[in-house]
Amino acid sequence: MTKTHSESRRLDGSGGRDARQKLEATFLTRRPGLGRAWVVDLTGMSTAEKLFMRTLQGTINRPEARLYLVNSDDTEFAEAERFWIEEYERQGWIDVGGYLNHTEVLEKFGSEITGFVIASEDQPWTLHAATVVATLQNGVVAPDAVADLLRSLGWRQLDDVRNRWPDAVSAYQATVAQYRGALAYPGLALLRHTENLWDFVVQQEIMPVFSRPKHDTWDGVAAVMDAYPGGHVLYGYVSDDTVEEEIAVERASSSGKYLVPTSQVSNLSFHVAVLGKSRLIPLAERPEEAVTQCEASQVNVAIAITDGDNLQVPILQYPQSTFWNTEERGVLPLGWSMGVSLSVLAPGIWEFYRSTIRPNDEIVSLMGIAYVHASTLPEPEAYYRDTFSVMAAAGIHTLWSLDSSLTITDEPLWRVLEEAPGSETLHGVVVGYGPSVDKAFRRDTGMPVLVTQNGYSEDAARIKGRIEAIMALEPSKRSPVNFFMATNWSTSARDLYAALRPLTDQGVRFLTPAQALACMPDIKGIARSLIDTEASPGDCLPSGPIEQFGSPILSAPTLAGIGHPIAIPISVAVAGTRAIRRGGTITYTAALNIDVSGIARGFLKDRVLPVVEAFGLSQEFAEHVWMKLDASNIRVDLPVPQATRGVEVIGLESSGIEAAVAFKDGSLLVTLDTFVSDSRADSPSVEVSVSFTAAHDDRDCSAKLEMAPESVIFDFMLTVGIGDEAGPLVGGVSGTMAGRGAVSLAETVVNQ
């Protein structure tokens, strides 16, 4: 899949400029100019005052970016906020006019403001509505006491939206109905009034709303979101926990929205202007060098830091002294995830990373232009096309997708990805936020794919422990190449370097994700929608194609998991006459038992929850996750010994299920109707007893008559859900399962 340097230059030329222009329209309504910068520290301000200051900043920065805010009350992010304004000045990209206090900023910029709109923090939805009214009149939002201050200074009151609506949904619906067409940007921002993005919302004229999937406002706000056109950005963020995240991203993707997590990003109305009129410079193409093929005889490891699709990470976290700016950077190969939207929304910040990158650093495109479930998008082709065009313009060749569908080697979405215009820029894909059955595989097209082997909330010591566990394995049991993610909220680059560097002296070979993809041998993936192998005796596997249904977030991992053999869920025991004379009759009793409740609960305990645990979500998800198996058209084949004749059924009893029995083609075929195993319910066991006789063919001289192991085949629907069965987080797979028993069922001695 590797491209030549000439191809890369072609993609980074006029094609890159065209991609940049297209993304301007996707992400922005305007690219402001850049004027003399004035810096204000928000230390000691109330949340109402900070919101006012950010709406002031957005209004002032609309034609020309001049106002920059530092919130020293947030010691973590203030370090980055100060770093960028100082870095911009060091590079000569901006002219800083000075530093202002609260009073001075009002005096300096007050004359440029038309007036203020009053709202109240006690009615947070009025703050969203007031922002829209103020935006359209070149004003600011004045929550509560801020209005009194501005009035005392002689500022003009434009409107008062307090007590206008009884609840949030009413306010949002009314505001959208009245002002949607007047705002320049045809998209939304989901934003709390205490978050930081308000300057950008005002500058770009974006409709702000707020809700979460667990709030009673969600249905109304999600309906508003659905009504906006697809192919545009959903700014802010959508959830407060992982369950909400999956629900909300699925909903946003299904209506074609491109989520760019930005809720806590500060000063984006300023960052968008720095180098905004300059040409996007791609990462320098590194000289091609042969990477020795990875083999399991050596422990080969690639690590990349999350969660750079959230612009808060490259803008407010990576600049800290424990991440990109640590002195240790570069002592080990490391991937740094970033959303390529950074190059459009903060071109000066992109240029900083591009120009300061070191040989052991790789910038990886996390989720491309936006956080979506591509498998749910109405037009995934457009998403991949735009992603690859911007990746090419930026000189990035590794995509990190969180779409669990891509853990399936023959998933149709792969074809969409690989056939999208611009896919030639892609050298490989890393997938996932949690492990699957495969650690690495090559597509039939040659595309190399790495799947993360760990999950959420792991610090550097835990990652080191995982690598040491691989070191302890026999080489035949290792993956030739191993990918781990380092979650940005659980560890730092400095910690990773300190913990992992000693492993190089023990033979571990660390690689960038691109190097790991390049050195991957040809590995066939296990997780497929068509299983063409037979299960080992005692187990069963899907036979033929498997269909997915419901949410791909759950159906894809379920499909991957079903590719692992499961124990035959039907216990079969046969008692037969132990000894007969030649030509005598054998009496058999076959007992079939199904532990209906135990199947689902065992599958949940042994197969589902370990995956949840691997994601680091067990405490949150285990409370809500459930599993259900619907089995139907169940056929149990009991092969009667060949040296018998005259099979006669003399008894059939069943409880918990309808059963029938027939002799056909040398076997006794027991057919069972349907059972449902649900981890949420207690169900009685299924028990079936069949009595039958078979006469020994006296022409046979065998000393022993043996009944071979049973064959079992049944249709299945395996459903995994989180929360309500009628809710959005429900998905699974259906198909046919087949297996053969491990041991002979009965043995009869023939006395001559």
Q: Which domains does the chain have, with CATH numbers?
A: 33-271 (no CATH), 279-518 (3.20.20.490), 530-751 (2.60.40.1170)
Collapse the DSSP code of 638 into the 3-class scheme (helix H, G, I; strand E, B; otherwise coil) and give the result. Answer: strand
Write the CA distances from 153 to 39, 99, 110, 124, 410, integer angstroms: 22, 21, 9, 25, 66
pLDDT for the residue 434: 78
Segment 143-159 shows an average pLDDT of 96
pLDDT at 552: 83
Q: What is the pLDDT of residue 13?
A: 45
How far is the first Cα of the chain from the last one, in angstroms, to the nearest whole number? 70
Residue 562 confidence (pLDDT): 81
Dist. CA 658–CA 605, nearest whole Å? 29
What does the alpha-carbon distance between residue 232 and residue 185 come to, in Å, rounded to a whole number?
9
Mean pLDDT of 371-396: 94
| More confident call, 4 vs 526 | 526
Output the pLDDT for position 1.
38
Q: Can you give the pLDDT at residue 609?
A: 65
Average pLDDT over residues 186-212: 98
Angle between helical axes of 124-136 and 47-60 (0-180°, round to 10) = 20
Give the closest residue to 571 by CA, choosing from 605, 607, 595: 595
pLDDT recorded at residue 611: 59
Give the SS3 label for residue 391. Answer: helix
Confidence band (pLDDT; 50, 70, 90) for 473? very high
Cα gap 86→223, rounded to integer Å: 43
Could you tell me the pLDDT band of residue 131, with boundaries at 50, 70 and 90?
Answer: very high
The predicted-structure confidence for 602-648, as pLDDT tens digits, reads as follows 877 776 666 555 555 545 666 778 889 999 999 999 999 989 989 99
Query: Residue type at 124?
Result: P
Residue 688 has pLDDT above 50, yes or no: yes
Residue 4 has a pLDDT of: 31
Query: What DSSP designation does 116 have?
Result: E
Judged against a pLDDT cut of 90, whether residue 47 lies above it is answered with: yes
Residue 103: other Cβ atoms inside 10 A: 9
Q: pLDDT for 227-250, tens place per residue?
A: 999 999 999 999 998 888 989 999
Instruction: Say what the pLDDT of residue 699 is.
Output: 86
Whether residue 5 is predicted with pLDDT greater than 50 in this model: the reply is no
* Structural contact between residues 179 and 208, judged by C-beta atoms closer than 8 angstroms: no
Mean pLDDT of 89-115: 96
The string of DSSP letters for 462-473 reads: HHHHHHHHHHTS
Residue 584 tokens read as 């005598």
Task: Please give the average per-residue pLDDT across 508-530, as a whole number.
Answer: 93
Q: d(Cα 293, Cα 709) in Å, to the nearest integer?
A: 44
Position 288 confidence tier, pLDDT thresholds 50, 70, 90: low
Q: How many whole angstroms separate alpha carbon 212 and alpha carbon 199?
A: 22
Cα gap 52→648, rounded to integer Å: 88
| Residue 82 pLDDT > 50 | yes
Model confidence at 81: pLDDT above 60 = yes
Per-residue model confidence (pLDDT) at position 724: 85
Of the CA atoms within 13 Å of residue 498, those in its CB half-sphere come to 12
Q: Enter the pTM of the model.
A: 0.89
Position with higher pLDDT, 728 vs 613: 728
Q: Is the pLDDT at 654 greater than 90, yes or no?
A: yes
How confident is the prediction for the chain on average, in pLDDT? 92
Answer whether residue 2 shows pLDDT above 50. Answer: no
Helix (H) or strand (E) holding 668: strand 667-678
pLDDT at 19: 58
Average pLDDT, stretch 297-325?
96
The pLDDT of residue 601: 85
Average pLDDT in the 202-206 region? 98
DSSP code of residue 240: S
Q: Which of 149-158, 249-258, 328-337, 695-704 has the lowest mean pLDDT?
A: 695-704
